[in-house]
A and B are shown apart, each in its own frame.
Chain A
Amino acid sequence: MEKSRLIGLAVIGTAVTLAFGGCASGAESGSTASGTDNAGKKNIALITGSYGTPAAKSAMDMLITKGAAKGWDIKLQDTAFDYNKINSLMQDAASQKVDAIIVGYTTPELITLGMQAATDAGVPVFGLDAGVQPVDQVTLNVTSDNPWFGKTSAEELMTLVGGKGKRVLMLEHEPHPGVKLRSEAARQTFKDAGIDIVAEVQIKDPSSGRQEAMNDVSDYLTAHPNGLDGIWGGWDDVAMGAALALKNANSNIPVTGVDGTDEGLAAIQSGTSNLKATVWQDWGTITDKLVAGMGDYFAGTKLPENIVRVEGKLVTADNVAEFIK
């Protein structure tokens, strides 16, 4: 018994040593953890509330690639919507005196402790999709125009279902600042147009959002077999879940999403999915503008504004081919 435990511990110890050794040797090709090593090279902490969704991953990966092309070492840390953890990670990054902190998928109001730590340490904070209101402590926030997304997708759904008096179900997730803004804009658009919002379903966990949406929509259809004309999804993954539930129910009720994920675009292009439209988030432009703004800042150029809002593009069956890679 004792011998087997010792062997086991030895195996684990060896594995851990090798793992750390591998990590350490890998890190040697990068920069040190703190400060600038040499001219042009920047150590940047990228702290995000989300990386586990296709849209978030796409944006973060683009940002890291474009930063690397400028010689920046951007280290990504995902908190999975744990905003307190964003505070802690910002405090860590500030104490390490990184050259900049980029926060993603949060709003400055949710991370005041981290913002203060960065300010106190003199570390500039940039934002990627980090709120829609300008905040003094943020050097530059380049964000999707989420209210525009909500309004545009809602208008398209109204076109699909026929307008005033029609009944729609909304799939939302209030803890996500961007989705919350989309939902608010879509809700207002529906109300202004006389659309009846029959249910607003809050998805509990975005990581299993498709399954939740699928079950919730199935239940709604069971309870109200003829009680729905359209479904508005706050993001493509839940819209896809709704589309699967409708397909199972042999229903042709249209669904709209937001994000323009590869899967969402493919579904629209197929013509067989209930997902009929989405709003494509222009992550290419967003990350271009953010990297350009950060470059200007590092070069000593004063930035003209500290928030830039980027609209997306409505994608339907008519133009989806333009967006398929």
Chain B
Amino acid sequence: MTTNGPSSTTRVGSAEVLAAALPDRKIGVGRILRLSGTGIGLILLIAIFGALRPTVFLTVGNFVNILEQISILAIIAAVQTVVMVVGDFDLSVGSTASLGGALTAVLLMAGWSIPLAVAVALIVGALVGAVNGVLVSYLKLSAFIATLATMTSVTGLAFIVTDGANIFGFTKDFLPLGQGRFLGVPVPVYVAAAVSLLIWALLRFTTIGRRWRAVGGNAEVARLSGIRVDWVRFVAFVIAGLGSALAGIILVSRLASATAQAGDSQMMLAVAAVFLGMTMSSYGGANIGGTLVGVAILGVLTNGLNIVGVNTYVQQLLTGFIIVAAVGLSRLGQDRR
């Protein structure tokens, strides 16, 4: 995204920013393909799996199943989106989720109340994000190096917290957070929806949201416009840490146990989802709507391939291909503008 130098970023609306970023707004086939390629990919996947197993795949129960399976990834991807809007990325979101969950589990087993244990885990998650924020924003380390280092340290911390053991046997009152249902829909789905909505609202309607986008578009222009770029990036990382810890807490409740690495695998999926979503943006930036479509693609893909009965290894191969295909489709026509 390029902002072309907004004179007062706090007063620049997203429409103006986007308009500035798009010198050519002609609607052509290439452009439509580029913007809707990922969405088309999702629809195609649903159509293909629906055609292959219509009575199984295209059922309300299965869609609820998919929503449940992607809810934790959706939370992590949503907060990863914030960091990527600013132009950075956070490799420590998965390990922060693991730590948040592990810490909650250990505190619950130590007799702490649920609200207190959850609050402490969230604070620790925010602190991890703050460390990333300081390293990237104020000490000017590259986000890759800083969050890679944090990821490693946080994983070690999670092992220390759990002593490498599997923590289980929580009070039953904690389990509805991950296993409960309301109106037939799993509770984690509501949490994921709430987090996504919050992030969307933050990005769309608030000053900090506009500043995130301005910094992501051109940090130098944003700085010249009077935005405290370092602070804005710092806040984005804190949000990522906080959200990741929340996802980890829900994961632990869902699994009724905690380990030091339970959430680690979510990191790469979250990054992939945001990248998929970026293809749906006219300015090529991270956006929450696109991210959720990216998350949905990953969820539908895994669920559909499982239902069709495709071997796990082939699933991994196909997942890679389909991500490339979705991104590739969105690139069609991009360079012709």
Contacts and interface: CB of A to CB of B under 8 A. Distances in A.
B256 A244 contact: yes
Contacts of B262: 207-208, 210-211
A222 interface: yes
Contacts of A207: 259, 261-262, 264-265
A9 B134 CA distance: 11
Interface stretch (A101-109, A117-125, A136-144, A196-204): A196-204
Nearest to B70: A215
A216 B164 contact: no
Given A199-B309, A263-B168, A211 B260 contact: no
Contacts of A9: 139
Given A207-B265, A223-B56, A244-B256, A8 B166 contact: no
B255 A241 contact: yes
Contacts of B179: 248
B23 interface: no
Nearest to A267: B168
Interface string B291-321: 0000000000011001111011100100000
B166 A266 contact: no
A289 B296 CA distance: 51
B276 interface: no
Interface in B133-189: 134, 138-140, 159, 164-166, 168-169, 179
Q: Is the interface of A mostly helix, strand, loop or mixed?
A: helix
B53 interface: yes
Interface centre among A4, A5, A210 (most CB of B within 10 A): A210
A183 B302 CA distance: 23
B307 A222 contact: yes
A52 interface: yes
B312 A52 contact: no
Given A9-B139, A216-B306, A54 B251 contact: no
Contacts of B263: 208
A220 interface: yes
A218 B311 CA distance: 16
B69 interface: yes
B34 to A, nearest CB: 32
B306 A54 contact: no
Nearest to A208: B265
Contacts of A263: 166, 168-169, 257
A4 B257 CA distance: 42
Nearest to A12: B139
Interface residues on A, range: 35 or more
B225 interface: no
Contact of A205 (B138, B169, B265): B265
A241 B164 CA distance: 19
Nearest to A8: B139
A170 B214 CA distance: 51
A146 interface: no
Contacts of B139: 5, 8-9, 12
B302 A266 contact: no
Task: Kindly state the interface size class of chain B when it binds its partner.
Answer: 35 or more
Interface in A158-179: none
A204 B316 contact: yes
Nearest to B312: A202
Given A202-B312, A241-B255, A57 B65 contact: no
B62 interface: yes
Contacts of A211: 251, 254-255, 262
A261 B166 contact: yes
Interface in B39-75: 53, 56, 59, 61-62, 65, 68-69
A204 B165 CA distance: 21
A278 to B, nearest CB: 14
B65 A222 contact: yes
Nearest to A219: B306
Interface string B253-282: 011110111111100000000000000000
A266 B164 contact: no
A263 B170 CA distance: 12
A268 interface: no
Nearest to A225: B56
A57 B261 CA distance: 14
Contact of B260 (A52, A199, A219, A222): A52
B166 A54 contact: yes
Interface in B199-242: none
A52 B261 contact: yes
A32 B165 CA distance: 29
A263 B168 CA distance: 7
13 contacts: A8-B138, A9-B139, A51-B164, A52-B259, A57-B164, A202-B311, A207-B261, A207-B262, A208-B263, A208-B264, A210-B257, A211-B254, A262-B166
Interface of B: 53, 56, 59, 61-62, 65, 68-69, 134, 138-140, 159, 164-166, 168-169, 179, 251, 254-257, 259-265, 302-303, 306-309, 311-313, 316
User: Which 6 pairs show the lowest CB-CB distances between chains A and B?
Assistant: A219-B306, A207-B261, A202-B312, A223-B307, A54-B166, A57-B164
Given A218-B68, A266-B169, 7 more contacts: A8-B139, A12-B139, A199-B309, A204-B312, A204-B316, A205-B264, A215-B302
